[in-house]
């Protein structure tokens, strides 16, 4: 048995549909965001995370202070004869170490967004597809810069005197940030492959620790056994520390800087496509 809808009900339904249409399309459609605007928005999203959860900055503020104080005053006398001389040697390396450790969190943050389904929402938006990736890594550069700045300021308080002056220090931090931006793409790839944020963090630090500690951050390579010295000499972290140390000391070699920038470009060329590929397939 069927019933025929009344005229009043039909009019009411049509009226409701018209009101709904006007509410949804009350004005002209805004233009699609440019690639730069989308990346900027996601970079700002990363900064807002720090604003709302300031504990995230502990690894970029407290940890670098602990490393600087611990290595300077525990090993300075034994390695360099005085903490003052050792501070001049080690501080550029601590800047590199502190900044590179923060790159692991690029992968952790991306994995967190993936496991919570946030990335699926981003994919539904009419924007440049890589924007969430590029913007997030760019936003993490704020954390990296904070780590480097904290070490430099603490070093100046403790007696570090860079012969390269302000320009040398700024140039050194810039080179480290460029390399850190490239290295972050390694960990974003890892963040899309691993199943949980904790797995990304553990794997990332396990990969970084040998490269950090088997470098010229803490001791001169020529003081090491021959086999270990050979590894240290080809370690990209060693090349980065050498360039950073040279810029801060005011005797930077253009070849050292070019080598670091070339290695950063190679990492970027390899891992940005890998990250983009896994990002498209993930979910």
Full residue range of the structural domain in which residue 255 is found: 33-281
Q: According to the model, what pLDDT value does residue 4 have? A: 52
pLDDT at 6: 52
In a domain? residue 193: yes
**pLDDT, position 20:** 67
Mean pLDDT of 265-276: 93
In the structure, what pLDDT confidence band is assigned to residue 188 with cuts at 50, 70 and 90? very high
Give the pLDDT mean for 204-219. 93
Per-residue pLDDT, 29: 66
CA gap 75, 211 in Å, rounded: 20
User: pTM of the entire structure?
Assistant: 0.84
Tell me, yes or no, whether 24 lies in a domain. no
**Residue 177 pLDDT exceeds 60:** yes
Please tell me the total count of domains within the chain.
1
Does any domain span residue 12? no
In a domain, 3, yes or no: no
pLDDT of residue 131: 82
Instruction: Tell whether 9 is covered by a domain.
Output: no
- pLDDT, tens only, 63-107: 889 999 999 998 888 888 888 899 999 999 999 999 999 999 888
């Amino acid at each position: 048995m069927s019933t025929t809808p009344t005229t009043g009900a039909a009019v009411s339904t049509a009226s409701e549909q018209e009101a709904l249409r006007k509410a949804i399309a009350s004005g002209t459609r805004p233009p699609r965001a440019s690639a730069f605007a989308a990346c900027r928005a996601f970079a700002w999203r990363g900064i807002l995370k720090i604003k709302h959860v300031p504990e995230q900055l502990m690894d970029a503020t407290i940890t670098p202070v602990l490393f600087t104080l611990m290595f300077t005053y525990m090993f300075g006398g034994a390695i360099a004869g005085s903490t003052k001389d050792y501070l001049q040697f080690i501080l550029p390396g601590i800047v590199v170490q502190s900044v590179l450790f923060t790159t692991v969190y690029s992968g952790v943050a991306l994995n967190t967004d993936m496991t919570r389904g946030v990335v699926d929402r981003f994919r539904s938006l009419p924007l440049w597809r890589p924007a969430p990736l590029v913007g997030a890594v760019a936003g993490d550069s704020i954390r990296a810069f904070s780590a480097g700045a904290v070490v430099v300021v603490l070093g100046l308080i403790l007696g570090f005197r860079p012969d390269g002056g302000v320009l040398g220090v700024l140039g050194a931090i810039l080179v480290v940030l460029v390399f850190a931006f490239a290295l972050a793409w390694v960990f974003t790839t890892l963040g899309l492959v691993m199943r949980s944020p904790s797995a990304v963090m553990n794997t990332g630090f396990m990969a970084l620790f040998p490269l950090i500690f088997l470098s010229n951050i803490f001791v001169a390579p020529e003081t090491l056994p021959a086999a270990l010295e050979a590894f240290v000499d080809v370690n990209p972290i060693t090349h980065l520390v050498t360039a950073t140390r040279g810029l801060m000391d005011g005797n930077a070699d253009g070849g050292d800087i070019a080598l670091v920038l070339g290695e950063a470009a190679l990492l970027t060329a390899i891992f940005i496509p890998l990250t983009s590929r896994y990002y498209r397939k993930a979910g």
